[in-house]
Structure 1
Amino acid sequence: MKTQEFFNLLEEHQDKTLQFEYATNRYVAANYHITEVKHITVESVDCGSQADQWNETIVQLWESPAEILKTKHMSVLKALSILKKVGIMKAYDLESEIKFEYSNSKFHTAQLFVNDFKTKDSQLFIELGVEKTDCKAKELCGVPEKIVDALEKTKEKVEACCSPTGNCC
């Protein structure tokens, strides 16, 4: 989800509480705070020697141990005001992907994508998820999408590509 799309969603549901589902049926506790917003520019080179650049907005969620018994989640309105204040101090790239950084004692620190959202009664649920790593240069490096089906046909090509003198890896 783009940053602007997320802000539009919050604007539409200002009267609700904001909850995050970080894994199937696992939710960020009501004692969460928005502790940091990162405006990230990623500059990368993939294994096919292709350069790329993009921006990301990363919102960090943290559960306060001092508020462990808290039962009411942050309102969408409060979250929106925090994010607007950040935008005044440091402008957003509204076309950048928005991610949420989160962890707890049972879940490793991860940057999670917005997969979907749903509303129920007075609640807005943001459904987060991980995205698996991938090779961006599959075609260039001769790595087929279905590697099991094509392994024998491409084994020599992949080995040549990934050799010290190859163009990939």
Structure 2
Amino acid sequence: MKVKEFINMLDQHKGKELMFSYQQDKLVGANYHLTEVKNVQFDTTDCGGKTNFWEETHFQLWESPEEIEKRTYMTTDKILSILNRVDGIKPLKKETELKFEYGNEDFTTAVMPVRELEWDQNRLYVSLFSEETKCKAKDQCCIEEEEIEAEACCETSNCC
């Protein structure tokens, strides 16, 4: 999901509580805050020698230990006001992929894309998911979707 798509959804669902799930049946606590907006650039070289460049935007969610008993969630209006403030200081890159950074004592901090958005009369639900790592040079490293023998691959590949 692009940043602009997320902002449009917030705008369409003004006044609703904004809730995030980070695993099946696991919600970010109502005590969360949007603590940082990151314009992130990746400038990489994969194992096949190909260079890659892309940008993403990360929204960092943090649960305040001082508000552990809080039961109402931040609203879409509050998030929009934070994003408008941020955009006035450092422009949001609205065409980039949006990911959320989150972790707690039971869940290792991860950067997760949006799987889906759902809503009801009072809430907007953002379902996040953890991505698996991938080899970007599968075609050069002879890595297939199915498991293969590493020795055979290494004989024909520059990656091993």
- Distance in 2 (CA, whole Å) between partners of 1:67 and 1:143 is 48
- Distance in 2 (CA, whole Å) between partners of 1:31 and 1:66 is 8
Could you tell me which of 156, 159, 162 is aligned with 2:154?
159
RMSD of Structure 2 on Structure 1 (CA)? 1.4
Moved over 3 A (4+): none
Q: What is the identity percentage for the equivalent residue pairs of Structure 1 and Structure 2?
A: 42
Summarize the alignment of residues 1-169 of structure 1 with structure 2, pairs less than 5 Å apart.
1-147=1-147, 151=148, 155-156=151-152, 158-162=153-157, 166=158, 168-169=159-160
- Range 123-132 or range 90-99, more displaced: 90-99
For the pair shown, the structure with the greater C-alpha radius of gyration is 1
- Distance in 1 (CA, whole Å) between partners of 2:12 and 2:140 is 43
Unaligned runs of 5+ in 2: none
- Matched residue count: 160
TM-score in terms of structure 1 length: 0.90
Report the Cα offset of residue 43 of structure 1: 0.5
Report the Cα offset of residue 87 of structure 1: 1.1
Report the Cα offset of residue 71 of structure 1: 0.5
